[in-house]
Amino acid sequence: MNYTISNDQIEVTVSDVGAELMSIKSLKDGTEFLWQGDPAFWAGRAYNLFPICGRLAEGKYTFRGETYEMNLHGFVRKSILDATVLARDKIDFGLRSDERTKAMYPFDFEYHICYSLVGSTVKMEISVINHTDSTMPFALGGHPGFNVPLAGAGAFEDWRLEFCPECEPVRVVFSDACLTTEERKPFPLEDGKILRLRHDLFDHDAVVLAGTSHRVSLKSDLSPHSVTVEVPDAMKYLGIWHAPKKEAPYVCIEPWTSLPAYDGRVDDLETKEDMFELSPLASYELIWTITVE
């Protein structure tokens, strides 16, 4: 089921399947900012990632001597979450662990993502509660896709990603299986801040960067419209993606707190890099935003 929240500037629709954004639309001129899931390119729109980001080697991991299987980006994106409308411009989606989730992830938890609107900004407040009597490792991420070009202005190549402040990112090199390798390469930006979009950027799947600034905007000199994604320090990796080897009319801007598994290495969840370690009965909160103009 889809739910819609709005204020005097934007209207946002969210599905209870994965608490996935379905639409971010301007009420001023009707511009749709969010990718609309054309299956010819990518049927998704804006996955929420939990409790992993990316792939696992062999699709599995171990924890305390047991082996578990989990799909790409975790299970929230295909789960039905409970929706609670809090106001005209605010809605919360929650997922509580059950036998289905415990077969993939052996913890008693609550996951919530609360969407609220502030002007032309979509605020996403994610909270995780550990109801288990042991430490709970997990990761968080987002996977929103945005139309390129926005409102039909120019071509894909007329658009750019602009980072603020200037930064010197490095690329996390992936294997052909889209798993992490030990290799890191400098990924210089034009003037320390600009990445001009072109389709062949994604011929080898996602560009995943570390060391970027925490604010990145989708812009073009041909349009007054833009999208800005702002993330906290904890979201230390940024994936940039569209369907490989296609002239896909969108780009995903994906903030992650951790990376996929290393190629050839089945993760032990207790030693997997960059995982949050949530103490028993504790909670964790993370906020990131999407602003449209």
How far is 125 from 141, CA to CA, in rounded Å?
12
Per-residue pLDDT tens, the chain, 293 aa: give them: 999 999 999 999 999 999 999 999 999 999 999 999 999 999 999 999 999 999 999 999 999 999 999 999 999 999 999 999 999 999 999 999 999 999 999 999 999 999 999 999 999 999 999 999 999 999 999 999 999 999 999 999 999 999 999 999 999 999 988 899 999 999 999 999 999 999 999 998 899 999 999 999 999 999 999 999 999 999 999 999 999 999 999 999 999 999 999 998 999 999 999 999 999 999 999 999 999 99
Cα 237-241-243 angle, rounded to 5 deg: 150
To which residue do tokens 């990445």 refer?
195
Asked whether the bond before 149 is cis by omega within 30 degrees of 0, the reply is yes
Q: What is the pLDDT of residue 56?
A: 94
- pLDDT for 104: 97
- Domain annotation for the chain: domains and CATH numbers: 2-153+234-292 (2.70.98.10)
Burial zone of 158 (CB within 10 Å; 0-12 exposed, 13-18 middle, 19+ buried): middle
* DSSP category for residue 109: E
Residue 71: Cβ within 10 Å count = 13
- pLDDT at position 204 is 87
The DSSP code for 59 is G
Are the C-beta atoms of residues 128 and 122 closer than 8 Å to each other?
no
Residue 138: predicted pLDDT:
97
